[in-house]
Amino acid sequence: MVSRRNFLGGATAAVSAAAVSKVALAALPEPVIQTKPDTMPPLVPNTGRPYNPVVTLNGWTCPWRMNNNVKEFHLVAEPVLREMAPGMKARLWGYNGQSPGPTIEVVEGDRVRIFVTNKLPEHTSVHWHGQRLPNGMDGVSGLTQPAIQPGKTFVYEFVARRPGTFMYHPHADEMTQMAMGMMGLWITHPKQKHPLIDTVDRDFCFLLNAYDIEPGSATPKIMTMLDFNLWSWNSRVFPGIDSLNVRQGDKVRLRMGNLTMTNHPIHLHGHEFTVTGTDGGPVPKSARWPEVTTDVAVGQMRQVEFVADEEGDWAFHCHKSHHTMNAMGHGVPTMIGVEHKEVAREITQLIPDYMVMGESGMAEMGAMEMPLPDNTLPMMTGEGPFGSVEMGGMFSVLKVRRDQKRGDYSNPGWYKHPSGSNAFEWTGALPDPARTSTGVTSRTRILPISA
106/241 with CB nearer Cu ion:
241
DSSP state of 388: E
- Taking the C-alpha atoms of residue 256 and residue 301, their distance in angstroms, rounded to an integer, is 6
- To the nearest whole angstrom, how small is the minimum distance from the Cβ of residue 326 to Cu ion? 13
Nearest approach, Cβ of 180 to Cu ion (angstroms)? Answer: 20
Q: Which is nearer to Cu ion, 131 or 326 (CB)?
A: 326
Measured from the CB of residue 323, what is the shortest distance to Cu ion in angstroms?
Answer: 3
Minimum CB distance to Cu ion smaller for 119 or for 236: 236
CB 319 to Cu ion: min, Å: 7
Distance, in Å, from the CA atom of 132 to the CA atom of 137, rounded to the nearest integer, reads 10
Residue 322: closest CA among 243, 257, 259, 228: 228
Is residue 256 within the footprint of Cu ion (CB under 5 A)?
no
Find the part of the chain contacting Cu ion (CB under 5 A) among 111-119, 157-165, 196-204, 263-271: 263-271
Segment 290 to 329, residues that bind Cu ion, using CB under 5 A: 318, 320, 323
Q: Are 275 and 304 in contact (CB under 8 A)?
A: yes
Closest distance between Cu ion and the C-beta of residue 265, in Å? 7
CB 62 within 8 A of CB 54: no
CA nearest neighbour of 53 among 111, 98, 106: 106
Of 49 and 322, nearer to Cu ion (C-beta) is 322
d(CA 207, CA 259): 7
Task: Count Cα neighbours of 443 within 13 Å in the Cβ-side half-sphere.
Answer: 6
Of 16 and 262, CB closest to Cu ion: 262
Provide, rounded to whole angstroms, the least separation between the CB of residue 386 and Cu ion.
25
Q: For residues 325-364, which are near Cu ion according to CB under 5 A?
A: none
Three-class secondary structure of residue 11 per DSSP: helix
- Least distance to Cu ion, CB of residue 207, Å: 13
* Measured distance CA(37)–CA(105) in Å, rounded: 19
Segment 58 to 87, residues that bind Cu ion, using CB under 5 A: none
- Residues near 264 by Cβ (< 8 Å), separated by ≥ 6? 208, 231, 258, 295, 296, 318, 320, 323, 394
Residue among 264 and 271 whose Cβ is closer to Cu ion? 264
Question: Which of 188/294 has CB closer to Cu ion?
Answer: 294
For Cu ion, the binding residues in 382-411 under the rule CB under 5 A are none
Minimum distance between the CB of residue 237 and Cu ion, rounded to whole angstroms?
Answer: 12
Task: Pick the closer one to Cu ion by CB: 49 or 320.
Answer: 320
User: Under rule CB under 5 A, which residues in 424-443 are in contact with Cu ion?
Assistant: none
Give the CA-trace dihedral at 359, 362, 364, 368, to 10 degrees: 120
**Which CB, 269 or 320, lies closer to Cu ion?**
320
DSSP string of 248-315? TT-EEEEEEEE-SSS-EEEEESS--EEEEEETTEEPPGGG--EESEEEE-TT-EEEEEEE--S-EEEE
Q: Which is nearer to Cu ion, 171 or 264 (CB)?
A: 264
8 A C-beta contact, residue 412 and residue 260: no
Minimum Å distance from CB 294 to Cu ion?
Answer: 12
Distance CA 198, CA 190 (A): 10
- Mark the segment that binds Cu ion (CB under 5 A) among 177-185, 258-266, 333-341, 382-390: 258-266
Question: Are the beta carbons of 44 and 51 closer than 8 angstroms?
Answer: no
- For residues 67 and 403, give the distance between their C-alpha atoms in angstroms, rounded to a whole number: 42
Residue at 396: amino acid letter? S
Mapped onto helix, strand or coil, the DSSP state of residue 176 is helix
Report d(CA 108, CA 114) in Å as an integer. Answer: 16
We find the least distance from the C-beta atom of residue 316 to Cu ion, in angstroms, to be: 12
Scanning residues 142 to 161, which ones bind Cu ion (CB under 5 A)?
none
Stretch of 65-73, 125-133, 215-223, 259-267 lying at the interface with Cu ion (CB under 5 A) = 259-267
- Total residues contacting Cu ion (rule CB under 5 A)? 4
Among 71, 123, 236, 264, binds Cu ion (CB under 5 A): 264
Question: Of the two residues 75 and 266, which places its CB atom closer to Cu ion in the complex?
Answer: 266
Smallest separation, CB 56 to Cu ion (Å): 20
Pattern 205-244, Cu ion, x by CB under 5 A: ----------------------------------------
Dmax of the chain from CA atoms?
Answer: 90
User: Which residues of this protein are in contact with Cu ion, per CB under 5 A?
Assistant: 264, 318, 320, 323
